[in-house]
């Protein structure tokens, strides 16, 4: 019962953090300014957080053998996202990750065994792989505005790159 409460609170916290994140991002910028050159990052982060909330919600209705993997995947994904976004929404994600971490421990204790540990490890690795792969795609998708100039650098798992946009033409360095 305690694990179910932890998971339910985490789901509500994640949805609230995601709504706050989207509100903060949508309020930034000056009217008339062009949008960001990397438009896929914010939707990816928001979608990933919702995916983690859905995994936790699903863990409330699946059979007990599947609960540790779902909760472990969400906990790991939220924690890694929290570390990567520490200066933005990261603290909220780390707090939200603490709840499913505790619920995962309780689920593993209720069903100890090698199969449980392996399922949690595989789910956690898959969660982080989806996060990092999604960031790689989102960071690599640079959109130049049809007029004006901009530039910057984009992060990447295999090294970032710097870029310039000049009247709709992208140049990477």
For residue range 120-138, list pLDDT tens digits in order.
999 999 999 999 999 999 9
pTM (2 d.p.)? 0.90
For residue range 11-23, list pLDDT tens digits in order.
999 999 999 999 9
pLDDT value at residue 86: 92
Can you give the pLDDT of all 173 residues of the chain as single tens digits? 789 999 999 999 999 999 999 999 888 877 767 778 888 999 999 999 999 999 999 999 999 999 999 999 999 999 999 999 998 889 999 999 999 999 999 999 998 899 999 999 999 999 999 999 999 999 888 888 888 888 888 777 777 788 888 888 888 88
Q: What is the DSSP string of 42-75?
A: HHHHHHHHHHHHHHHHHHTTS-GGGHHHHHHHHH
pLDDT value at residue 154: 78
Residue 107: both structure tokens together: 């689920």
CA torsion angle for 17, 22, 27, 30 (degrees, to 10)? 140
Residue with tokens 């929404």: 89
Domain locations in the chain as residue ranges: 2-141, 143-173
């Amino acid at each position: 019962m305690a694990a179910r409460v932890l998971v339910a609170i985490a789901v509500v916290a994640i949805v609230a953090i995601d709504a706050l994140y989207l509100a903060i991002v949508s309020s930034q910028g000056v009217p008339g300014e062009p949008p960001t050159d990397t438009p896929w990052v914010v939707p990816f982060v928001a979608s990933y957080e919702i995916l983690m909330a859905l995994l936790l919600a699903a863990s409330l209705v699946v059979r007990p053998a599947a609960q540790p993997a779902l909760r472990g995947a969400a906990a790991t994904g939220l924690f890694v996202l929290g570390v990567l976004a520490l200066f933005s929404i990261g603290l909220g994600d780390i707090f939200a990750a603490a709840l499913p971490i505790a619920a995962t421990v309780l689920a593993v204790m209720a069903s100890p065994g090698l199969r449980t540990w392996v399922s949690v490890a595989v789910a956690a690795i898959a969660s982080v792989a989806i996060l990092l792969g999604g960031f790689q795609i989102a960071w690599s998708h640079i959109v130049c505005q049809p007029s004006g100039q901009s530039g910057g650098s984009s992060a990447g798992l295999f090294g970032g790159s710097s870029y310039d946009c000049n009247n709709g033409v992208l140049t990477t360095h």
